[in-house]
């Protein structure tokens, strides 16, 4: 954010990216502040960190005769489960431009019942900003 007052020469998209970021700098700064605040809360309140995929959307699922398989593990991390679970929320569907079917509460209840882990609103708010 400190280099917005001079041209970006790192390729054909450098200057258009700088201009776009400059036009929205205040909003981006607010998002970064909110992101840092949420990270701090999640780091200090998340009870369990688990293996997370990072992109468990339908494009990374393969249906086999024995069930679904999750593909493309290049973004795997140890993180709070909300890193993956936020993709079951209205926020993810809206981001994709799809009409969200709001059944996330049911999915989170089933997740908690199966794992004993509670899904936190703070974590669900953080990961769309990631």
Asked if residue 29 is part of any domain, the answer here is: yes
Asked if residue 64 is part of any domain, the answer here is: no
pLDDT score, position 30: 96
Residues 1-30, mean pLDDT to the nearest whole number:
95
Does 93 have pLDDT greater than 90?
no
Note down the domain range covering 36.
1-45
Structure tokens at 105: 């509460």
Does 101 have pLDDT greater than 70?
no
The confidence band for 51, taking pLDDT boundaries of 50, 70 and 90, is: very high
Enter the pTM of the model.
0.71
For the chain, the distance separating the N- and C-terminal CA atoms, rounded to the nearest angstrom, is 18
Asked if residue 123 is part of any domain, the answer here is: no
Asked if residue 78 is part of any domain, the answer here is: no
Structure tokens at 90: 């209205």
Asked if residue 127 is part of any domain, the answer here is: no
The confidence band for 89, taking pLDDT boundaries of 50, 70 and 90, is: confident
pLDDT score, position 4: 94
| 69-77 own/partner pairs: CB under 8 Å, 24+ apart | 76/51, 76/52, 77/51, 77/52
Asked if residue 80 is part of any domain, the answer here is: no
Asked if residue 35 is part of any domain, the answer here is: yes
Does 103 have pLDDT greater than 80?
no
Structure tokens at 103: 């059944």
Q: Which residue has the tokens 């431009």?
A: 97
């Amino acid at each position: 954010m400190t280099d917005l007052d001079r041209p970006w020469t790192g390729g054909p998209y450098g200057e258009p990216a700088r201009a776009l970021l400059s036009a929205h700098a205040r909003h981006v700064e607010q998002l970064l502040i909110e992101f840092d605040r949420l990270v701090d809360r999640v780091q200090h309140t998340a009870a369990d960190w688990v293996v997370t995929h990072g992109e468990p959307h339908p494009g990374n699922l393969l249906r086999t005769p024995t069930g679904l398989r999750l593909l493309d593990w290049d973004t795997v991390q140890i993180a709070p489960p909300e890193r993956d679970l936020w993709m079951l929320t209205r926020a993810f569907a809206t981001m994709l431009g799809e009409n969200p079917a709001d059944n996330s509460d049911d999915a989170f209840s089933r997740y908690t019942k199966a794992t004993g882990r509670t899904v936190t609103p703070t974590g669900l708010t953080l990961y769309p900003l990631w």
